[in-house]
Amino acid sequence: MTTLPDTLTAALADVAVDTVPPGIEAGLVVEPHTAEDLARIVRAAADHGVAVTPVGSGSTLRGADAAIAVVTGGLAGVIDYQPDDLTIVVGVGTTLGALDDVLDERGLSAILPETSPDRTVGGVVATSSSGYRRLGYGPTRDRILEVTMVTGYGEIVRAGGRLVKNVTGYDLSRLVTGSLGSLGIIASVCFKLWPVTQQRRTVTVDDAGAALVETFRPVAVLETEAGSTVYLQGDPTTMDEQVRHLRGDAVEGFTWPDVPASPVRIVMNVPPRSLTAAISEVRAAGVGRFVAQHGVGVIELGVDAFDESLVDALRSWAETHGGSLIASAPGLTSAQRWGAPPDTIEIQRRMKHLFDPAGICNPGVLPGGL
């Protein structure tokens, strides 16, 4: 770990904290409380050529060990909640659980990942994580309306708008979603909300593929090693008919698969039409636990360790079928994480350089080692 220049540690003394988040190695840990604090941190880092990485709950992908870890707990809380307009602006340090507590009162939801209440909004946005309700609601990125961030050159930039419909310029909020802290650090996010007061049912079925085709807009159709389930919501009479048609067993509410925590996370992304075949490949490769989303094309693999030959085989299959396999675990190279660099690497390289000219924002975190 490089020793940081005195001028840098002095400049950031007022935002430095002693508590090092678990699993993080950094020369300095800072906790900003405002976007202005964050801007000062990034500018100082850029001026000294020292890498910064944002840390939420610590479950997010990280690039090379960063000299400065920016914990986002001080950027938590509701900034602007407009339930009648179906929008909410929150700081990135807000946990998903805390967000749900605020939204539950009015029966609203941002439809974020369902099973990790301790994750932060910033982590979800930076990794563009979607939950299981993606089939019915679309991915998380479709619900990000506005972002305020500090770019890699230290400016506070607002992009998008707190409106559910908007085409006003280049939507940076969409670019920065999923950018893994490579273009800067997000300070706050505005989400589009949905009412979620309808009744819900979880239906166990034999054939997920048939259920997908025959049911009108289910919220999710999942398949795990234990079986397949269809998730319905809406009017009870309609759901009665749907359950009858599916010939499945229904329980009230949504019961999501229980995915045990693991230091290794592997996700295969394939075209939805190839999902069933992909599941066969996963099974044949000996993977015992998985959650596959029909109609979406995402399969999360349940593994405890990074097995290079397994990853290579499944990645090769996914890429041949027009998809990808993304692995995250401590100490992976960019190629091990991402596989083949994207088609658009030249444009991405220019974008990265324009937003992070000093190369300090999670360097190496993007595919192609950007």
Q: Which of residues 5-34 bind another protein (CB under 8 A)?
A: none
Helix and strand element counts for the chain (H, E)? 12, 18
User: Exactly one of 25, 36, 85, 304 binds another protein (CB under 8 A); which one?
Assistant: 85
Closest CA to 322 of 282, 271, 367: 271
Q: Tokens 């010939």 belong to which residue?
A: 247
Instruction: Return the range that interacts with another protein (CB under 8 A); candidates 112-120, 163-171, 249-257, 302-310.
Output: 163-171
Q: Does 78 bind another protein (CB under 8 A)?
A: no
User: Exactly one of 2, 237, 309, 333 binds another protein (CB under 8 A); which one?
Assistant: 237
Q: Does 147 bind another protein (CB under 8 A)?
A: no
Terminal C-alpha separation, the chain = 21
Q: Does 243 bind another protein (CB under 8 A)?
A: no
Q: Does 54 bind another protein (CB under 8 A)?
A: no
User: Exactly one of 238, 255, 280, 320 binds another protein (CB under 8 A); which one?
Assistant: 238
Q: Does 363 bind another protein (CB under 8 A)?
A: no
User: Exactly one of 7, 115, 166, 255 binds another protein (CB under 8 A); which one?
Assistant: 166
In the region spanning residues 171 to 230, those forming contacts with another protein, defined by CB under 8 A, are: 171-172, 174-175, 177-179, 182-183, 194-198, 209, 212-213, 216-217
CA distance linking residue 291 with residue 293, whole number of Å:
7
Taking phi over 0 as left and psi of -120 to 50 as alpha, with beta for the rest, 121 belongs to: alpha
Number of residues that bind another protein (CB under 8 A): 92
User: Exactly one of 77, 97, 253, 357 binds another protein (CB under 8 A); which one?
Assistant: 357
Instruction: Return the range that interacts with another protein (CB under 8 A); candidates 61-69, 71-79, 200-208, 238-246.
Output: 238-246
Which 3-state string (H, E, C) describes 270-338?
CCHHHHHHHHHHHHHCCCCEEEEECCCCEEEEECCCCCHHHHHHHHHHHHHCCCEEEEECCCCCHHHHH
Residues contacting 235, CB < 8 A, separation 6+: 198, 199
